[in-house]
Structure 1
Amino acid sequence: MDLTTFDAVLSRKPFGDSGYVREQMHRAFKRRLESLCVSVPAARHLLTALQHATPHLEYRTLGDPLLRRAVQQLLTPEVVGPRRKSLSPQSAAHVLETIAQHVEAGAANGPLQGESAGARWLGDPSRTPWIWSPDQDRGFAGHTFTRFIEQQFGAELAQPSESDLAVLRQGCRLLDELLPLTSRGALSHTHLIGLTPGTDAWAGKSSSSQFTVVGIIFLNRKLLQNPWWVAEHLLHEALHQKLYDFRHAHSMLTRDLDDSPNAPGDVSRVVSLWNVPGVDGNNRWDVHRVMAAFHVYVHLALLCSLAEQHASRLRDTYGPLDAPRPMTASRKAFARAHYLAESLRAECWDELGLAGRRMVDWLNAVLDAMDQTPPPAGSFLHLLLDRYLKEARRLREAPVTDDLATTLAALGRSEAETFREVLSAVGAKDPLDTRTAEQAPRPARDDRATDGTADRAEHHATFAQQRQRIADTLLRLAPNGYSLDSLCRPAGRSADEMVRAMVETSSRELAATSAATPANPDRRPRHRPSS
């Protein structure tokens, strides 16, 4: 099947056509400025200036992250909320006035660039974002934005190096090779890239976007090494921006139609089974996050499939696809997209507006057309085992402590026991010597302090190896690679549910132990994962 045809399919009107989505978003924000004119004179000044602006300046202005935050905060302060409120009404009005003067002067680019001619662009300046440089002076707008980022996220952005810029541009060119129409459209909704230092408040986050801070995406500069990884994360976050623009002008969610201060808040409904929950259970997603992830994974399934098909041809230019920090495997992206499509219909349908439901129908039709071997409806074993192995990989980098070693010893025994019960339920023999897990890992004794750290590290590795063997065995036994239940006796327990209980219990135990470890970076504030 020629998947390249879906590049055009995912760029069609109304849901995939970036020109249409952007035009509707511009109209929505002009209406919002119009509604502010009586109380904020600067809004009228800006609207008047925009009437005489070039199309490019209007595009950069109405996509500017600071402008859009200021408008939203002036218009709906109860939605932004006091916790996130980092622009006073006076500052927000001053932002509008400053931007109105910027537009009135006929500037060449967006407000945050000011008069600077030294901006570094990801690619074509007419349709790709530029990369934020903290050392670049941009006047009032730039200084206000810098303070806003520090207040919003608790840390400032990093200064990009020449090597950072080079790999970002490589990722952009790779997108253009694999998925030109879709990637160009998505990137046109992103106006700014902020590189995070990957430390403090930014620790543990590869990339992120927020609906409350539109127009900018954040990438961890520590991870800018593999162009394939960069391409995936650029597209991932740019697609979020495209969906945010769509939501600002369409009835994507029912709560978007209720402007009252008492509109219902977010309700977590869907568990993203492949994500580690942590102590806060932040793998439980509200309808907006489920919709955003579904939108992304349909596109990523296509990107990653094309990457796998063309990896050998592009290897000399972009390096190996399986380099450190590789792309998501296409089958994983397809599986997650199918799960999220089912979840939207089963759990979130009443919270989707008319446009949201039609978008789900469209994306689902595209997904079904692309994937000739979809997972069986309702299957989840493969997604749980993704998390199971992800936790094991993280443990290799976790602080080596007695508490964690004790937890791993207990979990190693209980997981081995559950594994044997699952095998019994499906009528299979234990191909592993999992009973050895009952003796290891174990905490090091106090009288072996010199060697204790090495012992505990070895126990981490042993636990991770056991998990790998268990996961490999279960997936190999599953007739279709997605479920074990067809092997169970009709009146017997569900093997898939037994695995689910094991994984969820282990996740809770590991999260509780990690939260109690003082040196653990997970105790620092961090952004919620986008998908």
Structure 2
Amino acid sequence: MSVHDDDLVSVERALASHPEFSDAATITVKAREFYRFAVDLLCERSAAVDRLAAGIRDRDGEIPVAVTEDPLVRVVLDEAVSRLEQGFLDESAWAEVVTMLRLVDEALQTHGGTAAPTGAGISAGRGVRVAPGREAWLCGTAQGTTAALDRTFLTTFERDFLRGVPGDLLEPTAEHARRLDEGFAALNALLPELGASVGAHYVGVGVVDVRTEGETFLAGNVGRIPAVVFFSPNRMAGPWRLAETALHEGLHLKLFDIQRSASIFTAPERLADGPKVKVPWLKWASMVAPNEWALDRALGAFHVYAHLVLFRAALHTRLTPELQERFGAPETSDPPSLYRFCTERAHYLGEEILARGGDELTSHGREFVSWLLAAADAVKEPADV
């Protein structure tokens, strides 16, 4: 191991183990506890919710992890708690909670008490190994299914992920599954601590064909289906291409979970009308790609770029002959790849967020941004790979 790689080990450990900003074990437990608390809170206010939740609880009286990680459950609970915080929870919202818990109970009865309620049906038991000891379910199209959770997932995908853009959720083939496994394996071989930390935030993975006009869709996730990432076959064409994209998208999932238990912005609901960060590498603006970002969008990009600084250095330092024999060499030209631009963009975005954040950032938020900047600074600049 070189002196330079000693430095990378230190940075990687920091980016994977900070108790508030990066440690997956702590962050995911806090997120699960939030949703358990949400169920308990709703049980206190509704006999129907209490009765249904009792049928879902395990022997210790807890809501199982598979339920607290379920994306459809999380969205319904998020909305219910948000309405309670605003002082009201109308009849339709209570009906959504009751319906979701009933469907979850039915799914657990069908697939087993420890199965992922949505995942068990939509994946037909297929999975992707996203990290050692961690498997995400692999979405299928559930053709011909009458299961309500499956249909709800597919409807949510059409409405909230595609949002009118032509596209399809693909039925995954054995080759898709192999390429996904290989790409995540490449990430975990290159960055074992960071790969495991990011993989912990994956609940589901899907393969999509999205036909956007004038640009190539790569991968994405959406708040209405939290912890599930949809990859295009384009990003699955090579292990290192997928490794970068899996890291990128997994970092968005991680940031969502971080913000579930820690306040980074003082008033997130007002950010759309707040300060903007100019994006100099986007020369033209469109509805899809504005060249001025609200602080939360800038933070999401900065969080990814700060980690890609480490990814880029690791490709330069840790790409042993054994790894190249197993996964091949990174492509010399992959236009959608972002790691080649990460250092400059990470510093620019981090400094702009701190400069423009003002009262929009909490003290915790400023500490988070400063910590990420310090981590990016600690990586010595390698020659390009």
Task: Give the shorter-chain TM-score range.
Answer: 0.7 to 0.9
In 2, distance between residues paired with 1:252 and 1:127?
Answer: 28
In 2, distance between residues paired with 1:287 and 1:294?
Answer: 10
Alignment correspondent of 2:27: 21
Say whether the 8 Å CA contact 1:172–1:231 is kept in structure 2: yes
Q: 1:114 to 1:318 in 2, by over 3 A?
A: closer
Which residues of 2 match residues 94-105 of structure 1 at below 5 A? 94-103=99-108
Say whether the 8 Å CA contact 2:30–2:261 is kept in structure 1: yes
**Larger Rg, first or second structure (1 or 2):** 1
CA offsets per residue over residues 256-311 of structure 1, 9 Å max, x none? Answer: 5xxxxxx5252360122223543336232111111111111111111121112234
Q: Tell me how far 1:318 sits from its aligned partner.
A: 1.4
Decide which of 289, 298, 310 is 1:302's aligned counterpart: 310
Question: Which shifted more, 246-255 or 318-327?
Answer: 318-327
In 2, distance between residues paired with 1:348 and 1:193?
Answer: 34
The residue type equivalent to 1:99 in the other structure is V
The residue type equivalent to 2:67 in the other structure is T
In 2, distance between residues paired with 1:72 and 1:145?
Answer: 17
Name stretches of at least 5 consecutive residues in structure 1 with no aligned partner: 80-86, 257-262, 374-531
Alignment correspondent of 1:236: 248
Tell me whether 1:31 sits opposite 2:37 in the alignment. yes
Q: 1:40 to 1:145 in 2, by over 3 A?
A: farther
The residue type equivalent to 1:73 in the other structure is E
Say whether the 8 Å CA contact 1:228–1:326 is kept in structure 2: no
Which residues of 2 match residues 315-354 of structure 1 at below 5 A? 315-322=324-331, 325=334, 328=337, 330=339, 332-354=341-363
Alignment correspondent of 2:218: 206
CA offsets per residue over residues 187-242 of structure 1, 9 Å max, x none? Answer: 11110112221225997321122344311112112432011110011111111111
The alignment-based identity, stated in percent, is 24
Name stretches of at least 5 consecutive residues in structure 2 with no aligned partner: 86-91
Alignment correspondent of 2:278: 271
Alignment correspondent of 2:88: none
Q: 1:272 to 1:160 in 2, by over 3 A?
A: farther
Say whether the 8 Å CA contact 1:61–1:67 is kept in structure 2: yes
In 1, distance between residues paired with 2:78 and 2:65?
Answer: 18
Alignment correspondent of 1:65: 71
Which residues of 2 match residues 415-494 of structure 1 at below 5 A? none
Say whether the 8 Å CA contact 1:112–1:141 is kept in structure 2: yes
In 1, distance between residues paired with 2:98 and 2:225?
Answer: 17
Alignment correspondent of 2:300: 292
Decide which of 227, 245, 253 is 2:257's aligned counterpart: 245
In 2, distance between residues paired with 1:99 and 1:134?
Answer: 19
In 1, distance between residues paired with 2:271 and 2:253?
Answer: 21
Q: Tell me how far 1:162 sits from its aligned partner.
A: 2.2
Which residues of 2 match residues 514-529 of structure 1 at below 5 A? none
The residue type equivalent to 2:78 in the other structure is Q
Alignment correspondent of 2:150: 142
In 2, distance between residues paired with 1:353 and 1:72?
Answer: 22
Once superposed, what is the RMSD of the aligned Cα atoms? 3.2
Local SS of the residue matching 1:242 = helix
Alignment correspondent of 1:355: 364
Say whether the 8 Å CA contact 1:121–1:128 is kept in structure 2: yes
Alignment correspondent of 1:122: 128
Q: 1:272 to 1:213 in 2, by over 3 A?
A: farther
Q: Tell me how far 1:31 sits from its aligned partner.
A: 2.4
Higher relative contact order (CA 8 A, sep 6+): 2
Q: Tell me how far 1:7 sits from its aligned partner.
A: 2.0
Say whether the 8 Å CA contact 2:313–2:379 is kept in structure 1: no
Tell me whether 1:5 sits opposite 2:13 in the alignment. no
Q: 1:275 to 1:35 in 2, by over 3 A?
A: farther
Say whether the 8 Å CA contact 1:252–1:357 is kept in structure 2: yes
The residue type equivalent to 2:127 in the other structure is W
TM-score of the superposition, structure 2-length normalised? Answer: 0.82
Which residues of 2 match residues 147-158 of structure 1 at below 5 A? 147-152=155-160, 153=162, 154=164, 155-158=167-170
Q: 1:306 to 1:138 in 2, by over 3 A?
A: farther
Q: Tell me how far 1:151 sits from its aligned partner.
A: 1.6
In 2, distance between residues paired with 1:364 and 1:217?
Answer: 26
